[in-house]
Amino acid sequence: MAAITAGMVKDLREKTDAPMMECKKALSEADGDMGKAEEILRVKLGNKATKAASRITAEGVVAVEISADGKLGAMVELNCETDFVSKNDDFLGLGAEVAKLVVSQNPADVEALSALKIGDKTVEETRSALVGKIGENMSIRRFVRIDAQGALSSYIHGSRIGVLVDLVGGDDQLGKDLAMHIAASKPKALDASGVPAELLEAERRIAIEKAREGGKPENILEKIAEGTVQKYLKDVTLLGQVFVKAEDGKQTIEQLLKARNASVASFTLFVVGEGIEKKSSDFAAEVAAQAAAAQK
């Protein structure tokens, strides 16, 4: 039996938002395997154990630049330490300038981008000077550059969620509607072929275990799991999702595109701080509080 440390419990709690004791039990049952423990929590607690997956804690902005003909576009995530700085005009200006450079210069990676010039200074020199001026660290986290098959549309929500869509056919309004839909619904892929096999397998295992715990017969577990996987695919693929502006509440994106004789070649979604977790709770205080409650 692997030793279950307080650090392991803390990490699982921050990842899942599940209660501390449930995390400890799950880790014990999984013999210290973090991945298996997370699956155990999802079986027991359902979607409550995936809350942390959508929690955004790092600060910064998403900046977008699209060429006049709509054929070239870029999106950049620029991070900082506080929400206050993310609204600073100089910080916002840096994000806009960097996005323009990505479109015009096509750098290979963040390092190459940092070596490009904004005026008479490199991007890195400009960033460093701004750090010194504001007194807060900041960094270019990631960027994407798209050479469109059709025409690019974009949407930025509150500077923290950015979308680029390569729409073939349709019109500008359809492109904007699709970009807004992606920002709201956050699909993981365009269609089922883009969803990693390990995610589908995890959904299948969880569905089987939940059905088994619910007393379902063994001979129908696979059928239940397949239904769960298909529902999951509708939820996480753009083409399978119901269009957020559908008047009947039923029209999928795939149906919308077919009706408009259009298709989506690709899309990119950036959410500021996605995957970056900041400590948001006092774990030691929580442990002490629960210990005191147990003594009473």
Q: Which of 87, 130, 96, 62 is nearest to 273 (CA)?
A: 62
Instruction: Please say whether the beta carbons of 176 and 153 come within 8 A.
Output: yes
How many C-beta atoms lie closer than 10 Å to residue 88's C-beta? 18
Residue type, 100: K
What b/e readout covers 68-84, taking b as 16+ CB neighbours within 10 angstroms? eebebbbbbbbbbbeee
Question: Could you give the 3-state DSSP secondary structure of residue 105?
Answer: helix
Please give the DSSP secondary-structure letter assigned to residue 277. Answer: -
Model pTM score: 0.73
Q: Where in 135-273 does DSSP place strands (E)?
A: 138-147, 151-157, 161-168, 263-271
Instruction: Please say whether the beta carbons of 144 and 74 come within 8 A.
Output: yes
Per-residue pLDDT of the chain (296 residues; tens, 9 = 90+): 678 898 888 888 877 767 788 888 889 999 999 888 888 887 777 655 454 444 433 799 999 999 999 999 999 999 998 889 999 999 999 999 999 999 999 999 999 999 999 999 999 999 999 988 888 889 999 999 999 999 999 999 999 999 999 999 999 999 999 999 999 999 999 999 999 899 889 888 998 888 888 888 888 888 998 998 899 999 999 999 999 999 888 999 999 999 999 999 999 999 998 877 554 444 455 455 555 555 54
If 0-12 CB within 10 Å is exposed, 13-18 middle and 19+ buried, where does residue 228 land?
Answer: middle
